[in-house]
Structures are given as C-alpha cells and as structure tokens.
Amino acid sequence: MNIQMKLKQKIQMLLIFISAVIYLVAIGYISINARQSSYRDTQELVDTRVNSFANQIEGRMNRNMAVARTLALSFSNYNYMPMDRWLTFANQVYEDVFPEYNDFYNLWDSWELSVIDTSYNKPYGRIVNEHFRDQGIIQTSQSKRSMDGDNELYKEIKQANKELVFPLYFDLFAEGKSERKLMTSLLVPIRQPDGAYAGVIGIDITMDRFQEMLSNVEIKGLDGSQAFMLSHQWKYAAHPDTSLLNEKIVKNPTSRKAFNLHDKLAEDRAFSIIHKENEYNKDYVSYAPIRIGKTGTPWYLGISVPVDNIMKEADRNFIISLIVGLVGLIILSGVVFYITRGITNPIEKVTEVLKQMARGRISNDMKLSIQTGDEIEEMGNALNTSIEGLNKKNDFASHLGHGELDYQYHMLSQEDELGRSLLEMRDSLKKAREEEEKRREEEKKRQWTNEGLNQFADLLRQNSDNLSRLTDELIKKLVHYLEANQGGIFLMNDQDENDRHLELYSAFAFDRKKHHEKRIELGDGLVGTCAIEGETIYLEEIPQDYIEITSGLGDANPDSLVIVPIKLEETIYGIIEIASFHTFEQYQIDFIERVAESIASTISSVKVNMRTQKLLEQSEQQAQELSAQEEEMRQNMEELKATQEEAGRQKTELEGLVNAFHRAIYVVEYDTEEKITDINDRYLTLLGLSRQDVIGTHHSYKMKFTEEQKKEYQQFWDDLRAGKVRQQTNKVEHNGKTYVFAETYTPILNGGEKVEKILKMAIEASEFNLKDYICQGQGRTGN
C-alpha cells in the first residue's frame, strides 16, 4: 500500500520517528553515563579529600621533622665547647624552641658520653635531656642512661644513624609523667664531622592531635564516611574506633584471594580499593601516603565511605533522568508539528554557509540571523559559534606565526580538538624558545668560563717568574672577575717537612691591597681543613666573626664564602678563599677550581724554576772555585798521572766488587724523604717490576701498621736521618708470594756530615727464618 503524504507530513513523521529514537537512545545513554559519572565523581571527591588531608598531616609532620633536623645540624658543632657548657647551651635552645610548638609532647636528646666527654672511653653510656608537657605544664629533666650497656631499642637508633619515624608506642621514653599516651617519635641523628654517630634529637608527638584532626574529616552528602591513619608498620595511629589503635590493619579486606594490603601500602603511592565485610556491606576506601622527612617509611591516611551511600545519589539521578526523558519525548512529539514549517528556509541558509566554509572561506559576515525559537535557531547559533571560533583560531594562528607566543586563546570547550592542537603547538613553541634561551644561557656561561681561563692563562704566563707578584695579580683579577668583595691566597710552606703550614701570600679587598702576616696550621679552621681534605668548601651561612667586609656603609658579614684548594693531582700547593655579598653559582665554583688547578701547575713550575735558579747560582759559584783551583790542579797533574795507573787498576777491582755485590744482594737507595731513588736489577727481577714502577714510591707503600708500629716506624726513620744504622727483618708480599729479607739501612753522609741518602742492603732469609719472624709477631708488608 502506497500512502501519499505531503512533504510537510513526511518531514513531521520522519522527524518524530528519528527524534524519538535518538532522544530515547541519548537519554538512556546520558542517564547511564550520568550514573557512572556520579559514581566516579564521588570517588574522585573522596580521593581528593584524602590527598588534601594527607598533605596537611604530611606538612605538619615534616615541619616537626625539620625542627629536629635543624637542631641536629646545629648541634653537630658540639666539639667547640666543653661538655658542661655545651649541655647548658643545648637546654637553653630547647627552652626557646619547645614552647613554640604545641605538637611537641616531648623534645629530647641523647648524647654519647664517649663523644662529648674525652675522659670517658666506654662504647656505651649517654646523657639525656628532656623537655615535656605534663598536664599542660612544661617540665625538664636530665639523666644518664645506658651506663651498663645500651638497650636493644637504642642500639637500633645508633646503628641506623639516619632519620627515623619510630613505631607507635605508649610513652616509652617518659619518666615521671602522670599520663601515658599513644605516640611516635621523630628522630634525627647528631653526627660527628666524619659522619659517625654522636647522638640523636627526638621529638615525641601524640596521636590524640591527629585523632581530633581526623574527627573533623567530613564529606558532604556522604553519610557514614570516616577517616583513619596508619603508621609505617600498618597499625592504626588514629581511628574513630579507639579500640583499634595500635592494632595492625588486616592483610586482605577485599574479596580477591591473592590481594595483600600490606604489600600495596609498601609501594608508597595513593590507591583505592573496596573493603568487603560481607555481601551487603562494602566500603570504598581511598589511601594516600604521608611521606615524613628522609625516612623512606611512609604513613597512610585513609577515608572510608559505604558503597551504598555513593550509589544512592547516582541511582536517584538515574531515575530522574529516565523520567525527564520520557516527559521530554512526549513534549517533543507535540513540538515537531509546530517547527516543520520553519525548517526549509533556515536549512537553505545553513547549507549555503556550510558550502562557503567547505571552500575555506571564514568571515564574520557569514553569521546567520535565525529567530525561529527552535532547534533551527540553535543550529544557526551553533554555526555562528563555529564561525566565531574558527575566526579566533585563525587570529590565534596568525599571532603565533608572528612569534607572539603569549597571546591568549580559550578553547570553545574541552572537546575543541583544533583549539587544543593550537594550544599544544603554542606550548611546543614556548618550550622550544625556553630551551633555546637555556642553551644560550649555558653557552654564555661556557663563554664566560673560557674567556676567564684564557685571561688567567695569560696572567700566569706573564708573571711566572715572580711568585709574590703572581699571587697579587691573581687574587685581584679573580675577585674582580667573579664580582666578589674579598679574597686571599694562602701558599703551602713545606721547606721544613716537620713544620708544614699555610702562609697568606696575597689578600685583596675593595681595590685596596692589605699586606699582613698570617700563618695557618694544617687542619686549623676552614682554610686548614680545606688543605687537609683537599676538597672545595662552600658556605652560605658564614660563622659569626669569621670574616667581615668593610665598605662605605660599615662592616658586614659576607653572604657566601668559597674555599678552593690549589692542587695538582693530589699535591696541595695552597688555598684560595673568596668572600662575597652575593652567592656563587656552581659554574663559578667550577671556574675557580679550574683556575686553582692552573695556578697549582704554575706554582709548581715556579718552585721548580726557583730551585733551578738556586742550583745555577751554586753551579756558578762552584765554577769560580774550580777555576781558582785549576792552577793547583795543573801542579798536581804530574802526581795524578803517576797515580792514574794505580787508580785505573783499583777502579777495575772496585767495579768487579760492585758488580759482585749487586749480584749477591738486593740494594735500594732512598732519599731523606723516604722515597726510592734507585734499585738494583736483582731486586726488580725478584719482584717482577720495572724501574718506572718503583722509582719515586714511598718506603711505606702498601705497608700495614698497628698504632704501636706507626710510632716505631717514625722512630726508625728519625734514627736513619740522624745517621744511625738500623737493621730489621722485613716481609714482602707480591703477586701471591711472600719474601722475607734481612735488611741493613746505612745512612750515606755528604761532606758536611749531613745524611744525604739511605742505602738498604738486603738478603733473602731462609724458610726457617720466616717462621721465626712470623712467630715473633714482627711482620709487616712494604717495599
């Protein structure tokens, strides 16, 4: 049957049918998605809330840990005061700090007696200072503990020697307090200069503050929600049900058999799971880590919400959406009859505009003015919006093309893919520009460094013949080039091996040269410490009265201080110290270190030249003396000729004796600085070494000493330098073999009765002698 209908009727029937189908599908899809979205939104709300509160707690805990860390770092200089003054000072600090922090239940320290009392030599025993609140009143105490040995708990703290969050306990360290509370302790070690354990700063905080804090955690519209906190041992630190406090959370609160909540918590990241008590009671629980200091043992905050309460709102919205959809479908059917009359003309206008857009034309004069009051008007408005959006995109792209990367553009919606792509392109261009600027900055730093090195290289070449003038020019140039304020160069005085120290050669401040004698012992102060350690020291917190910068505004402490060793390989030639009102960047410190290395090389050469010059002068003097003796020598030529034959014969005999001597025994020559200057081939063959491997090595190379042997070894060389002959038995371990030598050390004197070198003659001992030597306990390894 062919039903004849007018276009209007066909449009009406088609629109009603299609609209009904689309509307029903859309409403159904939207309703289902809305239900799911509501559930997800609620989960995200819970996750956001738990992260927010976790951050608050984390900040609060870390502020407390920062106080302990600051005190520990401050007290690391304990060795500058006697024990009584230091303990008095420490308690005064606690009295100032403790009242300012209401979170502190107990602020205490523990000092190793063996560290702060030089007369105490036991590995245990400590002094404990406490500041604590008892019923709101601040009290203090000081006591000695562990005098008979450390308990297991304190041993763990000493062995760890790092920041710790202690497991939950009931007021474990308190003495003389009237109440016991669940708490934990934040511990930061006090370290000696070499990093060894000297003591600990402890801050005890009670869990009732966090219990009170979590009781105020509410999520609007979600009944039954509650918050709890877990320690790093997964025990409840705070919970609405106080009977669970200090109890460990169950390993698997879910319906998954292989799930382990403790392992999940150990991953140190936020997550959420469904706790399932039974088929009817399920809770959505979100966990967020609380990272405390540098402990590496996170706590967790959790918020639990019944799943039924989450779904309740979503289900209600779903039903409302369905009802609204049905009502809307009925209304839609009635409205379709009224809008078909105004469809044709607006559609033609829209089609024409779309054709122009398809040809690439975009202009504001293409906007439509449709006032039908229905979907066609919305279509026209949507088209107008698209035209306006495309015009904005076109304008935005044009500004980007001209390099205006800060020009603002707002997407039409989150689904504006083209707008997002344009913004991503702008961000990529910005990133490229920033990287280019960063590259230029790095290039500028490299150029600054290279230009400075070239300038200092020229300066070193021009003044390499005068050490004093060289250091004066260097420190002046260095202070100016770094835009610093003060500087000094200390050089190593090693003329007397037993009195090595640093001397201030040059100092510079505000274009005025300051000449004054200054001697610094090795290890004394920051400069002496730098000379001993051979490493750069950089400070931005200068000790009071260490150094002052004088200007027209008066005297003031500098803001930064850098102390760099002047060393070549492992040899220290001196120290550079520079102070400034501005901080030094790392590339500037690296620059100073490279300049210091060049200075060390030049100073080494200057010292060699000075020694060479001295030797030349001595040589000239000797040449003059020889010239004066030449006449006398001519007179003695007759006698020399007469004795020449006899001398030649004796020389031949002597050379034979020397060769036999070197074939029979092992011979090594040392200078007075205990370094090898010569060694015979027989010894080298035995050890399987080349002459280059041995010449210049120290006599104590590869030796192992006890404290007693160190004293004997020093006396041994003092005797040799005093001209005494010494004998000893020496064991040498090389390439898995052990050799025992009977050695005689004979000082060789120069004409002035001064020891010039040491001659060691050795013979290899028998196996019997080796056993006797080992039994006597005199063995050591060496050259």
The CA distance from 782 to 704, in Å, is 8
More confident residue, 313 or 621: 621
Q: What is the pLDDT of residue 548?
A: 57
The CA distance from 745 to 722, in Å, is 12
Q: What is the pLDDT of residue 270?
A: 92
Exposure string for 35-72, b = 16+ CB within 10 A, e = fewer: beebbeebeebbbebbbebbeebbebbbebbebbbebb
Neighbouring C-alpha atoms within 13 Å toward the C-beta of 273: 18
Helix (H) or strand (E) holding 327: helix 307-339
More confident residue, 362 or 774: 362
Q: What is the pLDDT of residue 517?
A: 53
The CA distance from 628 to 466, in Å, is 34
Q: What is the pLDDT of residue 776?
A: 42
State the pLDDT confidence band at 512, using cuts at 50, 70 and 90: very low
Q: What is the pLDDT of residue 562?
A: 92
pLDDT of 288 strictly over 60: yes
The CA distance from 687 to 764, in Å, is 12
pLDDT of 361 strictly over 60: yes
Give the residue carrying structure tokens 């700090």. Answer: 97
List the Cα angle 71/75/80 in 5-degree steps.
160
The CA distance from 235 to 557, in Å, is 50
Residues 6+ apart with CB under 8 A from 237: 168, 182, 184, 207, 210, 229, 230, 231, 245, 246, 299
Across 735-764, average pLDDT = 84
The CA distance from 324 to 314, in Å, is 15
Across 46-51, average pLDDT = 89
List the Cα angle 78/84/89 in 5-degree steps.
60
Residues 6+ apart with CB under 8 A from 168: 182, 183, 184, 207, 231, 233, 235, 237, 246
Give the phi and the psi of residue 546 in degrees, each rounded to 5.
-70, -45
What letter does residue 675 receive in the DSSP assignment?
B
Mean pLDDT of the chain: 79
Across 164-182, average pLDDT = 71
In percent, how much of the chain has pLDDT > 90? 12
> Of 436-445, 632-641, 741-750, where does mean pLDDT reach its minimum?
632-641
- The pTM of the full predicted model, rounded to 2 decimals, is 0.41
**In the structure, how many helices (H) and strands (E) does the chain have?**
17, 26
Give the residue carrying structure tokens 């997407």. Answer: 411
More confident residue, 554 or 465: 465
Q: What is the pLDDT of residue 290?
A: 93
The CA distance from 270 to 9, in Å, is 60
In percent, how much of the chain has pLDDT > 70? 84
* Local structure of 561: helix, strand or coil: strand
pLDDT of 496 strictly over 60: yes
The CA distance from 72 to 114, in Å, is 18
State the pLDDT confidence band at 515, using cuts at 50, 70 and 90: very low
Q: What is the pLDDT of residue 163?
A: 92
The CA distance from 475 to 445, in Å, is 21
The CA distance from 588 to 487, in Å, is 15
Q: What is the pLDDT of residue 711?
A: 81
Helices marked H in 144-237 — which ranges?
152-160, 208-214
Tokens of 558: 């500098």
Q: What is the pLDDT of residue 200?
A: 93
pLDDT of 772 strictly over 50: no
* Local structure of 669: helix, strand or coil: strand
Sign of CA dihedral 251, 255, 257, 258: negative
Highest average pLDDT, of 90-104, 321-335, 515-529, 633-647, comes from: 90-104
State the pLDDT confidence band at 546, using cuts at 50, 70 and 90: low
pLDDT of 553 strictly over 50: no
The CA distance from 150 to 571, in Å, is 44
Helix (H) or strand (E) holding 508: strand 501-509
Q: What is the pLDDT of residue 514?
A: 42
pLDDT of 313 strictly over 70: no
Q: Which of 537, 593, 592, 527 is CA-nearest to residue 561?
A: 537
Across 227-236, average pLDDT = 92
Highest average pLDDT, of 266-275, 515-524, 750-759, comes from: 266-275
- Residues 571-612 have pLDDT tens digits of 888 999 998 888 888 988 898 888 888 888 888 877 777 777
pLDDT of 299 strictly over 60: yes
CA-to-CA dists, residue 348 to 6, 7, 22, 362, angstroms: 19, 16, 24, 18
Q: Which of 400, 461, 457 is CA-nearest to residue 425?
A: 400
- Residues 362-379 have pLDDT tens digits of 777 677 777 666 666 777
> Of 218-222, 234-238, 331-335, where does mean pLDDT reach its minimum?
218-222
- Residues 7-30 have pLDDT tens digits of 455 666 777 777 777 767 777 777
Neighbouring C-alpha atoms within 13 Å toward the C-beta of 501: 10
pLDDT of 231 strictly over 90: yes
Q: What is the pLDDT of residue 511?
A: 41
Helix axes 417-462, 467-481, angle to 10 degrees: 160
Q: Which of 65, 63, 90, 62 is CA-nearest to residue 75?
A: 90
* Local structure of 566: helix, strand or coil: strand
Highest average pLDDT, of 128-132, 425-429, 680-684, comes from: 128-132
Q: What is the pLDDT of residue 248?
A: 92
Q: What is the pLDDT of residue 234?
A: 93
- Residues 325-341 have pLDDT tens digits of 777 777 777 776 666 65
Exposure string for 524-541, b = 16+ CB within 10 A, e = fewer: eebbbbbbeeeebbeeee
Burial class (CB in 10 A: 0-12, 13-18, 19+), 554: exposed
The CA distance from 303 to 259, in Å, is 19
CA-to-CA dists, residue 402 to 204, 406, 408, 430, 437, angstroms: 61, 11, 14, 13, 18
What letter does residue 584 receive in the DSSP assignment?
P
What is the Rg, in whole angstroms, of the alpha carbon atoms belonging to the chain? 44
Tokens of 623: 């040449």
Across 692-720, average pLDDT = 82
Q: What is the pLDDT of residue 1?
A: 45
Is the CB of residue 391 less than 8 Å from the CB of residue 362? yes
Q: Within 10 A of 283 (CB to CB), how many other CB atoms are there?
A: 21
Q: Within 10 A of 238 (CB to CB), how many other CB atoms are there?
A: 24
Tokens of 502: 């640093």
Tokens of 706: 């006890």
- For the residues of 357-419, what is the DSSP string, one character each? HHTT---GGG------SSHHHHHHHHHHHHHHHHHHHHHHHHHHHTT-TT-----SSTT-HHH
